Amino acid sequence: MCNSVLQPGAVVEILDTLLSSAATTVDEEKGNPYWQARADFYIMCILSCLPWGGAELAE
C-alpha cells in the first residue's frame, strides 16, 4: 500500500496557489462583490490541511 501519494512539496504548492487565489479574489479595486465567500473558503481549506501537513511544513 502506498502512503506517499502526494509529495510535501506538491502540497505546499497547492496551498500557495490557494492562498494566492484568495489574495487575488480579495482585490476590492475591481469591485467583485462575491469575493468574501470564495476567499473564506480558500482560507478554510488551507487551515483545515494544517493538522495533517504541519509536520512536513515545520521541517
CA dist 51 and 49 (Å) reads 6
pLDDT in tens, the chain (59 residues): 566 677 777 777 887 887 787 777 666 666 566 667 777 887 888 788 777 766 766 76
DSSP state of 28: G
Whether 34 is in a domain gets the answer: yes
Whether 33 is in a domain gets the answer: yes
Q: Find the helix packing angle between 35-58 and 8-25, rounded to 10°.
A: 150
Which stretch of DSSP H or E encloses residue 45? Answer: helix 35-58
User: For position 48, what pLDDT does the model report?
Assistant: 83
Whether 3 is in a domain gets the answer: no
Domain total of the chain? 1
Whether 29 is in a domain gets the answer: yes
Whether 36 is in a domain gets the answer: yes
pTM of the model: 0.54
